[in-house]
Chain A
Amino acid sequence: MQSFQENLIIYANPEKCLGCHSCELACAVAHGDGSDLLTAVATERPLHPRNRVVVADGVTFPMQCRQCEDAPCTFVCPTGACRQSNGQIVISEKNCIGCKQCAMVCPFGAITVCSDEPVSEDSCTNRGVAKKCDLCTEWRAKNGKADTACVEACPTKAIHLVNLKTYRKALIEARARELAQSHRTVRMPF
């Protein structure tokens, strides 16, 4: 049996995020046909980011798919295009009919149905398929990158691709340091 593995997390530090949207542009380009931003815009490629920089209650940072373990999107998908695979939610675009149910049930609003191809008006299909963050799995493998496109693009290094194990260890150690500090002052008599 395959051991359970937590997916990588895109961690955003709201204190460092300036809301510049550079991660959105990088995301859209990384999921395009391989051309750079200037070429993509000059040739009118209709690209779409999989993340969104949001501002709520004065806090700004990018939001994207959380790769849920018990994911509503996989349950509602009528064609099985949206499913768990290797600890991530993947959408097989060739099997997606663009019904938008996944987009509606996603608790984070992380799924968009759209097309990255130009569509002619008299076409039978709008070519729209569900798109969401894939942690740049394909893009990283193809380009030999350790980080996702959004992480690379962030000018203030507000976004990081983190392994939960490392994250948890840092968290535990930080709390442990605080506890140790307070225990030194408290000096309980047992």
Chain B
Amino acid sequence: MNERPSSDPSVLELLPIANARGIETVFDRYKTQQPQCGFGSLGLCCRVCWKGPCRIDPFGEGPKYGICGADRDTIIARQLARMMASGAAAHSEHGRHIALALLEISKGKLPDYKIRDEAKLLAVAGKLGVVTTDRNILDVAREVALITLEDFQNQDQHKPCNWLTATLPAKRMKRLGELGVLPHNIDAVVAQTMARTTVGCDADATNVILGGIRAALADFDGMALATELSDALFGTPKPTITAANLGVIKPNAVNIAVNGHNPLLSEVICDVAKEMNQAAIEAGAKDGINVVGICCTGNEVMMRHGIPMAANYLSQEMAIITGALDAMILDVQCIMPSLPRIAECFHTQIITTMDENKISGAKHVSFHEDHASETAREIIRLAIAAYAHRDPKTVNIPNHKQTAIVGFSAEAIIGALSLLDAADPLKPLLDNIVNGNIQGVVLFAGCNNTQHEQDASFVTIAKKLAKNNVLLLATGCGAGAFAKHGLMTSEATEKYAGDGLKAVLTAIGTAAGLNGPLPLVLHMGSCVDNSRAVAVATALANKLGVDLNDLPVVACAPEAMSEKAVAIGTWSVAVGLPTHLGTVPQVLGSAKVVQLVTEDAKALFGGYFLVEPNPELAADKLFAVIKEKRAGLGI
């Protein structure tokens, strides 16, 4: 067990307050779950049918096979593939929601939404092969939406998903095609993965894992389309200065947190909150309405509107424990079901909004895009009403807040580089990689996990790699961790970056008018925005005429936990990136599956999983991989 649950000073300040009041948080629940089941940790418990549960003896004396005859390899491979399918389902469901909204907008419906970034829509249309000259923007939107929805409908098994073809390098598509892992239809491969892993079906571990990889690539497809279409609808993120950690909650405002992943509701909340600011002031909150973000909905609105970030995954409960949060609005994914129980001890109104994501104890306000503003107004009215019940005696807002420069979409990064070389924006980046000022690039992604001291692994690995002149990108709860710990500032670059990296970030930052270097870690968005990093890597690979696995680019998920992270990690491997996991995946019971996702994956895809729970060692190993890739390129 960790020596302390979190490295976030706000959490450390609020935990004793929660304990004194007998409020159980995620950190307490982690303790009550110890020791966790050894069979489950090793992946050796099978529950896919009701003959089970069956368990395989890890030490070889007891049962070697489940009742149906499945061995340890089959059991673990099936379980892992199902997690990949579930992750793919989550991201692509989010994507489908956005794509369907775009289709409706193109028909002139959904008056609360519009295409805010026409240039992005046209760029996307271009990538998807949609004719854009002399066409009405709504016509283009309609065709883009229909081509996108084809990725959920196409029944031709030989035609890969449109968004994959539009986003990955041709070399990578060829390699994946030859391995037979290109998805043709997101829904179909998720269903197929569930089908082949049910009792009595695919029992060849290698075949099962390859099937899972196809689902994971469908996850990439779903997330690429979700990100790009969200940009078209809500605007492509540009660098903006904001703040992070619980200190962003204001004592004299109606504080509303948006928590979850989908921007369709939170965007409208941000708009309506401005309209209703006066109502909050009239209710006695002299600072009006203060919208703050949690988890990836937080990242979405932080990137696009500079909305401050209150918490990432593991500290979402702490926002309520400040006693000053009047409402928390939930959409989908990574939302703790404990929130209404904690809110019972305070005045906080917990509001679920998606009909397929309810939590008992929360108030449900059904959200549909055709009545978006109306629903948002109803929710904000509830928040203002809750404010009247706030008990000043229970208010404890930690005085911890860090500046964060965020909003580094692929377009924003290319835009910043074009200030150095307008004709060839990638050239300055490539030149600096070649001359060694930048040794390589790491994408930090993934979750918080109670197995690790919250945020600590992210910070440790980042500082060590920055010192070694590795360019740091981040998404999801990793990005939240860096924002809260003050690593998304120019000062952090001055303090922690190696000389080469510092020189490059300073040149770009100065050209961009920041009066200092770019932040040490570039915030690329929510976890669904990992495709943004692939877009930058793809641009680099295409320019060099190489494949993604040739680049000195690695991924790092030191505190991974969700099924979405399993899917992301797997496509990251499949597109060719060495991918570090700080959490030991539940596969150690099968030496064969371990070999498949490490050594065999390296031979087949160029990418592979690298598991190292110790952050210091993980940083060394990742840097060694970057060196190896540089040697491969002869630089």
Question: Would A37 and B37 be within 8 Å (CB), given that A25-B58, A42-B594, A46-B60 are in contact?
Answer: no
Q: How far is the CA of A48 from the CA of B58 in the complex (A)?
A: 10
Question: Would A37 and B42 be within 8 Å (CB), given that A21-B55, A26-B35 are in contact?
Answer: yes
Instruction: Please tell me if the beta carbons of B58 and A41 are within 8 angstroms of each other in the complex.
Output: yes
In the assembled complex, how far is the CB of residue B531 from the closest CB belonging to chain A, in whole angstroms?
32
Residues of B within 8 A of A46 (CB): 59-60
Question: Would A155 and B37 be within 8 Å (CB), given that A42-B594, A46-B59 are in contact?
Answer: yes
Query: Which B26-79 residues have C-beta < 8 A from chain A?
Result: 35, 37-39, 41-42, 55, 58-61
Residues of A within 8 A of B42 (CB): 37-38, 41
Q: How far is the CA of A25 from the CA of B36 in the complex (A)?
A: 11
Closest A residue to B44 using CB positions: A41
Instruction: Please tell me if the beta carbons of A38 and B35 are within 8 angstroms of each other in the complex.
Output: no
Interface centre among A21, A44, A49, A152 (most CB of B within 10 A): A21
A73 at the interface (CB under 8 A from B): no
Query: Which A40-56 residues have C-beta < 8 A from chain B?
Result: 41-42, 44, 46-49
Closest B residue to A32 using CB positions: B59
Residues of B within 8 A of A155 (CB): 35, 37
Q: How far is the CA of A155 from the CA of B38 in the complex (A)?
A: 11
Interface centre among A20, A38, A44, A46 (most CB of B within 10 A): A38
Instruction: Please tell me if the beta carbons of B37 and A22 are within 8 angstroms of each other in the complex.
Output: yes
In the assembled complex, how far is the CB of residue B231 from the closest CB belonging to chain A, in whole angstroms?
41
Interface centre among B37, B61, B591 (most CB of A within 10 A): B61
Residues of B within 8 A of A29 (CB): 38
Q: How far is the CA of A22 from the CA of B44 in the complex (A)?
A: 12
In the assembled complex, how far is the CB of residue B241 from the closest CB belonging to chain A, in whole angstroms?
43
Q: How far is the CA of A19 from the CA of B202 in the complex (A)?
A: 29
Residues of A within 8 A of B38 (CB): 22, 25-26, 29, 37, 153
Residues of A within 8 A of B588 (CB): 38, 41-42
Instruction: Please tell me if the beta carbons of A38 and B584 are within 8 angstroms of each other in the complex.
Output: yes
Instruction: Please tell me if the beta carbons of A25 and B39 are within 8 angstroms of each other in the complex.
Output: yes
In the assembled complex, how far is the CB of residue A117 from the closest CB belonging to chain B, in whole angstroms?
13
Q: How far is the CA of A79 from the CA of B27 in the complex (A)?
A: 52
B211 at the interface (CB under 8 A from A): no
A28 at the interface (CB under 8 A from B): yes
In the assembled complex, how far is the CB of residue B225 from the closest CB belonging to chain A, in whole angstroms?
37
Instruction: Please tell me if the beta carbons of A38 and B37 are within 8 angstroms of each other in the complex.
Output: no
Question: What's the interface size class on B, roughly?
Answer: 10 to 19
B298 at the interface (CB under 8 A from A): no
Instruction: Please tell me if the beta carbons of B589 and A41 are within 8 angstroms of each other in the complex.
Output: yes
Closest A residue to B61 using CB positions: A48
Question: What's the interface size class on A, roughly?
Answer: 20 to 34
Query: Which B583-602 residues have C-beta < 8 A from chain A?
Result: 584, 588-589, 591, 594
Instruction: Please tell me if the beta carbons of B35 and A153 are within 8 angstroms of each other in the complex.
Output: yes
In the assembled complex, how far is the CB of residue B51 from the closest CB belonging to chain A, in whole angstroms?
15
In the complex, per-residue mask of B556-595: 1 if CB is within 8 Å of any chain A CB, else 0: 0000000000000000000000000000100011010010
Q: How far is the CA of A22 from the CA of B40 in the complex (A)?
A: 10
Interface centre among A21, A41, A42 (most CB of B within 10 A): A41
Q: How far is the CA of A156 from the CA of B61 in the complex (A)?
A: 25
In the complex, per-residue mask of A79-123: 1 if CB is within 8 Å of any chain B CB, else 0: 000000000000000000000000000000000001000000000
Closest B residue to A116 using CB positions: B59
Closest A residue to B58 using CB positions: A41
Closest A residue to B613 using CB positions: A38
Closest A residue to B60 using CB positions: A46
Instruction: Please tell me if the beta carbons of B35 and A28 are within 8 angstroms of each other in the complex.
Output: no
Closest A residue to B35 using CB positions: A153
Instruction: Please tell me if the beta carbons of B41 and A37 are within 8 angstroms of each other in the complex.
Output: yes
Residues of B within 8 A of A49 (CB): 59
Query: Which A113-138 residues have C-beta < 8 A from chain B?
Result: 114
Q: How far is the CA of A25 from the CA of B37 in the complex (A)?
A: 9
Residues of A within 8 A of B584 (CB): 38
Query: Which A1-58 residues have C-beta < 8 A from chain B?
Result: 20-22, 25-26, 28-29, 37-38, 41-42, 44, 46-49
Q: How far is the CA of A38 from the CA of B61 in the complex (A)?
A: 17
In the assembled complex, how far is the CB of residue B67 from the closest CB belonging to chain A, in whole angstroms?
15
Instruction: Please tell me if the beta carbons of B37 and A48 are within 8 angstroms of each other in the complex.
Output: no
In the assembled complex, how far is the CB of residue A138 from the closest CB belonging to chain B, in whole angstroms?
20
Q: How far is the CA of A41 from the CA of B59 in the complex (A)?
A: 7
Q: How far is the CA of A49 from the CA of B62 in the complex (A)?
A: 11
In the assembled complex, how far is the CB of residue A126 from the closest CB belonging to chain B, in whole angstroms?
15
Instruction: Please tell me if the beta carbons of A28 and B37 are within 8 angstroms of each other in the complex.
Output: no
Residues of A within 8 A of B58 (CB): 25, 37, 41
Q: How far is the CA of A155 from the CA of B58 in the complex (A)?
A: 19
In the assembled complex, how far is the CB of residue A119 from the closest CB belonging to chain B, in whole angstroms?
13
Question: Would A38 and B41 be within 8 Å (CB), given that A26-B35, A153-B35 are in contact?
Answer: yes
Q: How far is the CA of A13 from the CA of B37 in the complex (A)?
A: 19
Closest B residue to A42 using CB positions: B588
In the assembled complex, how far is the CB of residue A38 from the closest CB belonging to chain B, in whole angstroms?
5
Instruction: Please tell me if the beta carbons of A48 and B39 are within 8 angstroms of each other in the complex.
Output: no
In the assembled complex, how far is the CB of residue B165 from the closest CB belonging to chain A, in whole angstroms?
39
Question: Would A48 and B59 be within 8 Å (CB), given that A38-B588, A155-B35 are in contact?
Answer: yes
Residues of A within 8 A of B60 (CB): 46
Closest A residue to B594 using CB positions: A42
Interface centre among B35, B60, B584, B594 (most CB of A within 10 A): B35
Q: How far is the CA of A33 from the CA of B35 in the complex (A)?
A: 19
Q: How far is the CA of A48 from the CA of B59 in the complex (A)?
A: 7
Instruction: Please tell me if the beta carbons of B35 and A152 are within 8 angstroms of each other in the complex.
Output: yes
In the assembled complex, how far is the CB of residue B614 from the closest CB belonging to chain A, in whole angstroms?
12
Closest A residue to B611 using CB positions: A42
Q: How far is the CA of A28 from the CA of B62 in the complex (A)?
A: 13
Choice from B37, B41, B61, B589 contacting A20 with Cβ under 8 Å: B37
Residues of A within 8 A of B591 (CB): 44
In the assembled complex, how far is the CB of residue A165 from the closest CB belonging to chain B, in whole angstroms?
29
Closest A residue to B53 using CB positions: A20
Interface centre among B37, B41, B59, B60 (most CB of A within 10 A): B59
In the assembled complex, how far is the CB of residue A91 from the closest CB belonging to chain B, in whole angstroms?
19
In the assembled complex, how far is the CB of residue B234 from the closest CB belonging to chain A, in whole angstroms?
43
Residues of A within 8 A of B37 (CB): 20, 22, 155
Residues of A within 8 A of B55 (CB): 21
Residues of A within 8 A of B35 (CB): 22, 26, 152-153, 155
Q: How far is the CA of A64 from the CA of B189 in the complex (A)?
A: 49
Q: How far is the CA of A152 from the CA of B58 in the complex (A)?
A: 20
Q: How far is the CA of A152 from the CA of B35 in the complex (A)?
A: 8
Q: How far is the CA of A22 from the CA of B38 in the complex (A)?
A: 6
Residues of A within 8 A of B589 (CB): 41
In the assembled complex, how far is the CB of residue B41 from the closest CB belonging to chain A, in whole angstroms?
6
In addition to A22-B39, A25-B39, 7 A-B residue pairs with Cβ atoms within 8 Å of each other are: A20-B37, A28-B59, A41-B589, A44-B591, A46-B60, A49-B59, A153-B38
Give 8 CB contacts A-B under 8 Å: A22-B37, A22-B38, A25-B39, A38-B41, A38-B584, A41-B58, A42-B594, A153-B35
- Interchain residue pairs A-B with the least CB separation, the first 9: A25-B38, A41-B58, A37-B38, A47-B59, A42-B588, A41-B588, A153-B35, A38-B588, A38-B584
B-to-A contact residues, CB < 8 Å: 35, 37-39, 41-42, 55, 58-61, 584, 588-589, 591, 594
